[in-house]
Amino acid sequence: MALSHIHRTHRSGWLRAAVLGANDGVLSMSGLMVGVAAAQTQPHGVLVAGVAGLVAGMLSMAAGEYVSVSSQADIERADLAVEQQSLQNEFPQEQAELADIYVRRGLEPELAQRVAVQLMAFDALGAHARDDIGISDVTSARPMIAAMTSALSFASGGAVPLIAATLATRAALIPVVASVSLVLLALVGALAAQIGGARILPGTLRVLAWGALAMSVTGLAGRLF
């Protein structure tokens, strides 16, 4: 009977960017509006600050992810260039190196040598990228996807506290924004844990704790002013 396995590594790139963006969107926007409202700002001023924060946050997340992941992509390209040069100048040594990797992973030396020969005959650079450097199609850096995912997820998460602030009365603005944001943070934490195959409760509590702390600190800062 065949067993079915669900692997989640292929989700790591976009999942990280999406969860980070949504979480940062909720935290940033709720903290911003709670802090501004705590400073006795008029509702219009709170909403203006929220809209400005949402736009700035989207651009900041997109730029940050793009720069970060682009740096990773640059490193990967540099490593591949070095490996390509080695394959052109020292092919037998590179073949022996690959075989040695397979031996360390448990293959018999003779079998490891045959595997290395066949894989390098098919795609020498791909074999070394995957088994020597650790680069594959699943884990390779994709800057634009990371940037777009972060911006959209930030907007999705940050829009909820902003809408809540728009609908709430001035007196209830802080508790409404805080409550809605904590509920959304719990959902984001649970969803991230579910998609990533982790335990839901620890992931949810971790996000809730940091969210409550962030809003408490920003609220206190606003009250001081």
Question: Could you tell me which of 212, 176, 208 has the C-alpha nearest to residue 189?
Answer: 208
Predicted local distance difference test score (pLDDT) of residue 54: 93
Residues 6+ apart with CB under 8 A from 79: 129, 133, 135
Indicate the residue type of 69: V
- CA neighbours within 13 Å on the CB side: how many for 201? 0
Predicted local distance difference test score (pLDDT) of residue 56: 92
pTM metric for this prediction: 0.70
Predicted local distance difference test score (pLDDT) of residue 10: 45
- The residue behind tokens 């997340």 is 61
Decide if 194 contacts 200 (C-beta within 8 A): yes
Question: Could you tell me which of 173, 156, 162, 154 has the C-alpha nearest to residue 219?
Answer: 173
Domain boundaries, the chain: 13-80+145-224, 85-133
Decide if 71 contacts 84 (C-beta within 8 A): no
176: which 2 tokens? Answer: 């409404």
CA distances from 64 to 60, 75, 166, 182 (A): 6, 17, 29, 25
Calculate the CA dihedral of residues 156, 160, 162, 163 and round it to 10 degrees: 120
Rounded-to-integer distance, Cα 165 and Cα 199, Å: 32
Rounded-to-integer distance, Cα 29 and Cα 66, Å: 21
Decide if 125 contacts 81 (C-beta within 8 A): no
Predicted local distance difference test score (pLDDT) of residue 7: 46
From first to last of its 225 residues, the chain has per-residue pLDDT tens of: 444 544 444 445 556 667 777 888 888 898 898 889 888 888 888 889 999 999 999 998 889 888 888 888 888 888 888 888 988 898 889 888 889 989 988 888 889 889 888 988 898 888 888 887 777 665 566 788 888 888 888 998 899 999 998 888 888 888 999 999 999 888 888 877 776 677 888 878 888 888 888 888 988 888 887
